[in-house]
Amino acid sequence: MSNLIRFDNVSFSYGSNRVLEGIDLEIREGEFLAVLGYNGSGKSTMAKLINGILLPTEGKVYVDGMDTSDETKLADIRKTAGMVFQNPDNQIVATIVEEDVAFAPENLGIDPAEIRIRVDDAIKAVGLEKHVKDAPHKLSGGQKQRVAIAGVLAMQPRCIILDEPTAMLDPKGRSLVMGVIERLNREKGITIVLITHFMEEAARADRIVILSEGKVAENGSPKEVFSKKERMISLGLEVPPVTDLTLRLIDNGIDLRKDIIKPEELVDALLEIKETTD
């Protein structure tokens, strides 16, 4: 698969405050990438560099070969890489769900009939068919966040960057939003860059990048990254609860693999042990 997004020795500073330093990173088309890091590690800055909201102080960011500092390409870049933010309330523009989803294609000057099709598709993809005509303020947090995702989806982007999309949601909203994100990645092949604080969300990604002090501290599959518990803790993070549990079980003499990161994996492993002892 080809590279959709490329960070080429990127540094970024707010004034004299250096947030990112010498980032080299490639994100493949169709990949599901999770970005972790403690608060202030530069995660959000990295996200904003991708679609040209911020421009690198040094180095270059390329989206589908387009340089984000090239102003003539800005609309194309933002159409290719859509962005969803943390607070759903602050990214919904219109007073009716379908009008909001139509906002981006309207901005792009797309034909009304085509907008209609895109809006219906996007709303279906996030499972909000029943709320097409509702006012956003009557929806729950998880529903609002799905409206925001649909609003980006209507641009038909090849990549969606989500900046802590579940941070303000309750558990039910969180799992629904994560479900939508995973489905978009698997079924529509949309590249996902998920910035998150939740290790169990990151465990669902293809690859994890950990930022620390503005640099890429770890870059690997969830199994590789989460099997290094001490390293995670030294980076101000933790391992997913199920990994933590597995490690404790191992400490207590139960024979398990160290790289268990999803609940279903632990269940399978334990069932296997049960069968052999029966």
Partner 1 sequence: MRDITLGQYINGDSVIHRLDPRIRLILTLVYIILLFILKTIPQMLLALALILGAYALVRIPVKMLLKSLKPIIPIVVFTSVLNMFFVNGDVIFSFWKLSVTRQGLYYAVMLSLRVICLLAGSSLLTYTSTPIELTSALELLFMPLTKIGLPVNDLAMMMTIALRFIPTLLEETDKIMAAQKSRGANLDTGTFMERIRALTPILIPLFVSAFRRADELALAMECRCYNGGEGRTRMNALKIRRSDCIAVVVFIGFCSLIVLSGRISL
Residues that bind partner 1 (CB under 8 A): 51, 53, 75, 78-79, 82-83, 85, 87, 89-96, 98-99, 102-112, 115-116, 119, 135-137, 148, 151-152, 155
Closest to partner 1 by CB, 85 vs 226, is 85
Q: Do the strands 17-28 and 3-14 form a parallel or antiparallel pair, or are they unpaired? A: antiparallel
CB of 132 to partner 1, least distance (A): 12
CB of 148 to partner 1, least distance (A): 8
Closest to partner 1 by CB, 110 vs 232, is 110
CB proximity list for 129: less than 8 A, separation 6 or greater: 123
Residue given tokens 């959709």 in the structure block: 4
CA–CA dist 87, 165 (Å, integer): 7
Task: Name the burial class of residue 48, with classes exposed (0-12), middle (13-18) and buried (19+) by CB atoms within 10 angstroms of its CB.
Answer: middle
CB of 105 to partner 1, least distance (A): 7
Nearest residue to 4 via CA among 34, 27, 35, 32: 27
Q: How distant is the alpha carbon of residue 174 from its chain centre?
A: 13
CB of 116 to partner 1, least distance (A): 6
Closest to partner 1 by CB, 36 vs 154, is 154
Closest to partner 1 by CB, 177 vs 260, is 177
Tell me the C-alpha to C-alpha distance, in Å, between residue 94 and each of 66, 99, 197.
31, 6, 29
CB of 77 to partner 1, least distance (A): 10
Closest to partner 1 by CB, 139 vs 260, is 139
